[in-house]
Structure 1
Amino acid sequence: MKHLLLGFIFGISLSFISWIVGMIVNSILMKTEYYNKLSNLNFIENKGLNKTIGLTYFKWAVKNTFFKFFNQKLKVDSKSTDLAQLRNDMIYSEISHLIGFIFVTFFAIFKSFEVGFIFGLTMMIPNILMNLYPSLLQQENKRRIDRILKIKTVANKV
């Protein structure tokens, strides 16, 4: 029980730290040729699977709790919102969270051997909720923006 609680608390702490690590590494990655490839990641394209893993509930929590105050750049205020810029901001957030997820995962694997499997496993719970799910949500929102931008492009050609 001790490892369960301590792993969870350590996972929360490390996940917050991983956000900063993710932003720093992402800022460096932006200057490479690989960044364009990373900007088109899509792990789960199936809406049904997103719903099955609880992304709908996570989306509700982000929109209706204190999480909505975390990244104010990632919201549509009006019809005049620059969707291309919003998409770029989402890509930055998505990749930063993925880097953070990988960062904490390495720590969880290390701590699984050093402290115990339960400790490492419970570290992954906050990591999934604070890094993986936000990244998956950004991917879903990015796909929605892509559909809107595609419709606007077709409408402008007509």
Structure 2
Amino acid sequence: MVRYLTFSISICFISWLVGMMIHYALRKTDYFNKNLQNLTFIESQNLNRIIGLGVFKWIVKNTFFKFFNQKLKLKTKIDKPYLCSIRNEMTISEIDHLIGFVFVSFFALAKAFDANYLFGLVIMIVNMPMNLYPSLLQQENKRRIDRLIKRL
């Protein structure tokens, strides 16, 4: 079991790099600019609360995870161009994590097809908080920033 967990955590960290590289190539395409900028998987605040996104947000804000992406910190002086740049950084982070989630999901599916269901399950259990939840959190934060931008 420790071996499964170690592999899962390692592949999730690697997936962040894979997500950044693939996303860098996608950024230059029209598809990205038209379709991936405004993804929304969960619009409901109630559903976000049910799946524990608020708890995840607290963990990110109050643990060492807050040091990972320093570009996503709000300053005290807030104007429209600054909010747009923060929103752009959130989109980049969101897409990186989504690509990472899909990348790791292939490993989990490969283990499931290999009849190693427990290994695949452990991979997905680790993949969700390391890739899916950060992406969902970025989507929620982008919606909040969009409301701020409309007010300005």
TM-score normalised to structure 2 length: 0.94
Q: Is the counterpart of residue 6 in structure 1 residue 10 in structure 2? A: no
Bigger radius of gyration = 1
| Aligned mates of 1:129, 1:6 — CA distance in 2 | 19
Identical counterparts, % of pairs: 59
Aligned twin of 2:146: 146
Q: Is the counterpart of residue 124 in structure 1 residue 94 in structure 2? A: no
Gaps in structure 2 of 5+ consecutive residues: none
**How far off is 1:133 after superposition?**
0.2
Superimposed CA distance per residue, residues 36-71 of structure 1 (whole angstroms, 9 cap, x where no aligned partner): 210100000100100000000000000000000000
TM-score normalised to structure 1 length: 0.91
**How far off is 1:6 after superposition?**
2.6
Partner amino acid for 2:86? L
Aligned twin of 1:83: 83
Tell me the matched-pair count: 149
User: Alpha carbon RMSD of aligned pairs, Å?
Assistant: 1.1
Partner amino acid for 1:103? F
Aligned twin of 2:58: 60
| Aligned mates of 2:92, 2:27 — CA distance in 1 | 9
Q: Is the counterpart of residue 15 in structure 1 residue 12 in structure 2? A: yes
| Aligned mates of 2:141, 2:77 — CA distance in 1 | 16
Contact 1:9 1:123 in 2 (8 A): no
Aligned twin of 1:34: 31
Aligned twin of 1:71: 69
Aligned twin of 2:22: 25
| Aligned mates of 1:130, 1:115 — CA distance in 2 | 24
| Aligned mates of 2:7, 2:115 — CA distance in 1 | 12
| Aligned mates of 2:115, 2:11 — CA distance in 1 | 16
Partner amino acid for 2:100? G
Contact 1:93 1:135 in 2 (8 A): yes
Aligned twin of 2:49: 51
| Aligned mates of 2:111, 2:89 — CA distance in 1 | 33
**How far off is 1:13 after superposition?**
0.6
Question: 1:108 aligns to what SS in structure 2?
Answer: helix
